[in-house]
Amino acid sequence: MAKIIPLTDARARGRAIPLASQASRMTAAGLLADVRGRPLRDLRISVTDRCNFRCVYCMPKEVFGHNYPFLPHAELLSFEEIARLARVFKAHGIEKLRLTGGEPLLRKNIERLIAMLAAIGGLDITLTTNGALLARKARELKAAGLNRVTVSLDALDDGVFRAMNDVDFPVARVLEGIDAAAAAGLSPIKINMVVKRGVNEHQILPMARHFRRSGHILRFIEYMDVGHSNGWRMDDVVPSAEVIRTVEREFALLPLDANYTGEVARRWRYADDAESAGEVGVISSVTGAFCSDCSRARLAIDGKLYTCLFATTGFDLRELLRAGRSDQEIGDAIAAIWSRRADRYSETRSENTRELPKIEMSYIGG
């Protein structure tokens, strides 16, 4: 198993906020850019480090057990602080917010935060969930201003799904949540399946069959080396090319163009089913790095800003918030951080880089 870096140690590794510079990099369209010319368009906000699942690839029970030191509430960003930072980020070109966790629906009164973010205006607000609480919350989430949801679902077979979430949660209740989200208008719904060799790759075709004419978008995700607690090995990765070959054993597929620059998924539609707009896609951060046009920043639950999913340290924006800094000062700090960004972990992944003290998925968000 890979070396486990305690989350509390990783969280402590903050970096000094770089001083603002009049020479912040900009794209041709006048947007803030990093050293590789990548704009800042998407912000993922983790609202809790807690989860009601113990998925084997994210929060394995042997690490995230009863005595795991989750953050106390006082260390979390308040809803007001999150909304304020969202406004500042929007001024720098952010177009989409994705709320993540842990499991974001565990954050008490999450609907109030969504309403505060919706009131900013001009933002596409989405949320990623394991679906356990979705059936009873879908209508409230939509009424608060949430646009869409992405649901993590790693198997249709109930036994496989219960084993993977490791809390004996039935797949039927997640499917009920997906149906409730569709009825509430949180569409198009994306279904994300993390594929791990020897665990659930035999569920690829059942998932494709089930969601083919559902109107939902199915994504197969390569098992990634985020954090250290999941014991990641390259041998456990099912390459996206193999996933697509598996689907094509039963269904002819036609490639689709990307919806926008920086989209992480490669997309296909079913060749004989054009009217239903059935779609599958793959996210290949291990075998097909997409660092070159990555436009995503990540705000962790305690206010640290990370410029890569595989980051080793973050920049403490909470300190600026609670020190009474102005929006201008915080915005200048964000511009300075992004202008110096040069991350490309997936392009340079090696045995050595895999041992870096990366942040756990449950803290930084997916």
Report pLDDT for 138.
98
Between 311 and 341, name the one with better pLDDT: 341
pTM metric for this prediction: 0.90
Q: Are 131 and 157 in contact (CB under 8 A)?
A: no
Is the predicted pLDDT of residue 9 greater than 50, yes or no? Answer: no
Q: Report the alpha-carbon distance of residue 162 to residue 203 in Å, rounded.
A: 13
Q: What pLDDT does 4 receive?
A: 32
Q: Is the peptide bond before 366 cis (omega within 30 degrees of 0)?
A: no
CB burial class (10 A; 0-12, 13-18, 19+) of residue 207?
Answer: buried
Query: Any idea which residue has 């369209």 for tokens?
Result: 29
**Could you tell me what percent of the chain has a pLDDT over 70?**
86
What domains are there in the chain, each with its CATH number? 7-364 (3.20.20.70)
Q: Could you tell me the pLDDT band of residue 247, with boundaries at 50, 70 and 90?
A: very high
For 13-42, what is the mean pLDDT?
74
Other CB atoms within a 10 A radius of the CB of residue 31 amount to 15
pLDDT of residue 291: 85
Distance CA 269, CA 260 (A): 17
Characterize 114-145 residue by residue with b for buried, 16 or more Cβ atoms within 10 angstroms of its Cβ, and e for exposed. Answer: bbbbbebeebebbbbbbbbbbbebbeebbebb
Structure confidence at residue 142 (pLDDT)? 98
Question: Which residue shows structure tokens 């009164």?
Answer: 109
Is the per-residue pLDDT at 353 higher than 90?
no
Alpha carbon of residue 309 to chain centroid: 9
Task: Please give the pLDDT value at position 192.
Answer: 97
Instruction: Return d(Cα 174, Cα 222) in angstroms, integer.
Output: 21
- Give residue 274's pLDDT: 62
Cis previous bond, 18, omega within 30: no
- Report residue 56 CA to chain centroid gap: 17
Residue 7 has a pLDDT of 38
Q: What percent of the chain has pLDDT above 90?
A: 67
Exposure letters 258-270 (e unless 16+ CB within 10 A, then b): eeeebebbbbbbb
**pLDDT category of residue 133 using cuts at 50, 70 and 90:** very high
pLDDT in tens, 254-302: 999 988 877 889 999 999 866 666 899 999 988 887 788 899 999 999 9
Q: Which residue has the higher pLDDT, 205 or 66?
A: 205
pLDDT in tens, 76-109: 999 999 999 999 999 999 999 999 999 999 999 9
137-191 pLDDT, tens digit each = 999 999 999 999 999 999 999 999 999 999 999 999 999 999 999 999 999 999 9
Which of 107, 105, 125, 113 has the alpha carbon at shortest distance from 83? 113
- In this structure, of 45-49, 64-68, 333-337, the range with the lowest mean pLDDT score is 64-68
Cβ-Cβ contacts under 8 Å for 209 (sequence gap 6 or more): 250
pLDDT, mean of residues 212-224: 93
β-bridge partners, 177: none
Mean pLDDT value across the chain: 88
Mean pLDDT of 326-345: 94
